[in-house]
Amino acid sequence: MAKINSNYDKLAAGYLFPEIAKRTQSFLQANPEATVMRLGIGDTTEPIVPSVLDGLHRGVDKLGAVETYSGYGASEGIDPLREAIASQYREEGAEVNASEVFVSDGAKSDSANIQSIFAEGNVVAVQDPAYPVYVDSNVIAGRTGNASESGYAGLVYMPCTEENGFFPAVPDTKVDLIYICSPNNPTGAVANQQQLATFVDYARENRAVILYDSAYAAFITDPDLPRSIYEIEGARECAIELNSFSKTAGFTGVRLAWTIVPHDCVAEDTEPGKLHALWTRRQNTFFNGASNVVQEGGLAVLGVEGRRQTGEQVAFYLENARIIKEGLQSIGIVTYGGDNAPYVWMKAPGGLGSWEFFDKLLQECHVVGTPGSGFGPSGEGFFRLSAFGHREDVERAVSSIRSNLQL
């Protein structure tokens, strides 16, 4: 008799974003005349820039000629793109070799799949609040117990609070896998050199591995803040980094990302090179490589003109974040993030819970955001607004909040 993976039954309620969609749809059915302004899901809205479109077209054109047609490619990605990614890291002071870069079709799936090369019995630590995939994928893999109001049993939560600037202290017990996201989704907080160094020291001392999500690194404008964990001495021994073209280049629907597994990276019971070999085997077994057309687009993103044009788009979204943040502050709402990240993390006014404020914002202002509690226990009482949106939509949403929110 076939049996299901019963770990799925441990997952708490529905996934965050479908629940948002469900409540929004219910509101629209009850209020068909209303226009809802969406600052919830972090999905890009601006068109792909011309130089990158040219790259994608080149990829398509190559498929139309016998001389340049290609079928299956290496599961690790095409060599020119791997080298371009590694070169960008080296320009920013991080040691990365092209052979350590694994191109994929999304950092979301990589952040879930990477834990498959680690034993089920590993103890996992996550920032709290955190991107739900880190938690849910480990629940499904059997590394946690059941959920309660305080989170999943067996999972080590590292609270990110107002008091610690939304970046946690290292665990006070021994853990094996540590998920860190900087710039952080959802809080918008960015770790500094010393904060990351503390975690690198902890990981090296405990033979733990840091799974570092830098998908929003392009939004860091402060030159003193690290864009990669490999800017920290010793990180190559203990950290795997994931990044993506999604938010930098508008590839949320195009799908292209990468994971870096240094040859030096070790776990408790391995020698250097083993984790790299395991991830290579995993990708070769389960993955036939990212689209060859899309990889040509990724190569264009990293070209001189691609960087300039996508940099302008990143600046556009950061300006949206400034508009949101200043608009909220003008009516007395406490905000965080939004300076080196595309997310504004706000404190729900009047002591409201996250979902209570979601309903209030939707009913009074017709604006959709993301409840902080959906990202973990420490997110309760907070709320995330996304800077990904057309300028006029962002301005209209902020104006509605300022005019209609009953404080």
Question: pLDDT tens digits, residue range 151-163?
Answer: 999 999 999 999 9
pTM as predicted: 0.96
Do the Cβ atoms of 132 and 15 come closer than 8 Å? yes
Q: What is the residue extent of each domain of the chain? A: 13-47+307-404, 52-305
> What DSSP letter does each residue of 129-143 carry, written as one string?
S--HHHHHHHHHTT-
Nearest to 226 by CA among 329, 101, 368, 92: 92
* pLDDT tens column, 239-255: 999 999 999 999 999 99
Partnered with residue 178 across adjacent β-strands are 125, 210
Partnered with residue 127 across adjacent β-strands are 158
Domain 13-47+307-404 belongs to what topology? Answer: Aspartate Aminotransferase, domain 1 (3.90.1150)
Mean confidence (pLDDT) of the chain: 97
Nearest to 41 by CA among 331, 252, 297: 252
User: Alpha helix locations (H) across 42-166?
Assistant: 50-62, 79-91, 107-113, 132-140
The CATH architecture of the domain made up of 52-305 is: 3-Layer(aba) Sandwich (3.40)
* pLDDT tens column, 335-377: 999 999 999 999 999 999 999 999 999 999 999 999 999 999 9
pLDDT of residue 366: 97
Which tokens is 262 given? 């240094």
Contacts of 220 (CB under 8 A, 6+ apart): 183, 190, 227, 340, 341
pLDDT of residue 14: 67
Confidence at 2, pLDDT banded by 50, 70, 90: very high
Of 244 and 16, the structure prediction assigns the larger pLDDT to: 244
CB atoms within 10 A of CB 206: 17
Confidence at 149, pLDDT banded by 50, 70, 90: confident
What's the gap between Cα 164 and its chain centre? 21
SS3 of residue 371 by DSSP: strand
